[in-house]
Amino acid sequence: MSVINFEFRNEVLKHNASLSYCYQCSTCSGGCPVALLTEGKYNPRKIIEEAILGLQDKLVNEQDPNPWLCSTCQKCVELCPQKVELTEIFTLIKNLCFEKEKYPEAFSAQAQAVLEHGIAIPYSKAIITRREKLGLPNINIAPIEEIQTLLKETNFEKHILKGENK
Partner 1 sequence: MVYDLFLGCVIPARLPYLEASARKIFEKLDIELKDVDGFSCCPDPTGIELIDHKTWLALGARNLSLCNKNGGVISFCSGCVETLKGVNYYINKDLSVKKEVNKYLQKIGKVYEGKTKVKHFAEVLYENLEKVKEKVENPLEGFKVAVHYGCHYLRPSEIIEWDDPFEPVTVDAIVEALGAESVDYDLKMECCGNPLEKSDKDLSLLMIDNKLNAIQKSGANCVVVVCPACYQQFEFNQRELNKINNTNYNLPIFYLSEVVALAFGYKPEELGLNFHRIRPNALFESLGFNF
Under the rule (CB under 8 A), what is the footprint of partner 1?
33-34, 37-38, 66, 68-69, 71-75, 77-78, 87, 91-92, 94-95, 98, 103-104, 106-107, 110-111, 114, 118-124, 127, 130-131, 134-137, 139-143, 146-147, 149-151, 153-154, 156, 159
> Which residue, 53 or 163, has its beta carbon nearer to partner 1?
163
Q: What is the CA radius of gyration of the chain?
A: 19
> Which residue, 49 or 159, has its beta carbon nearer to partner 1?
159
Minimal distance in Å, beta carbon 3 to partner 1? 26
> Which residue, 54 or 67, has its beta carbon nearer to partner 1?
67
Residue 101 carries which DSSP code? T
Minimal distance in Å, beta carbon 1 to partner 1? 27
For residues 12 and 18, the answer to whether their CB atoms sit within 8 Å is: no
CB neighbours of 132 closer than 8 A, spacing ≥ 6? none
Q: Is the peptide bond before 65 cis (omega within 30 degrees of 0)?
A: yes
How many residues belong to the chain?
166
Residue type, 137: P
> Which residue, 4 or 36, has its beta carbon nearer to partner 1?
36
For residues 13 and 7, the answer to whether their CB atoms sit within 8 Å is: no
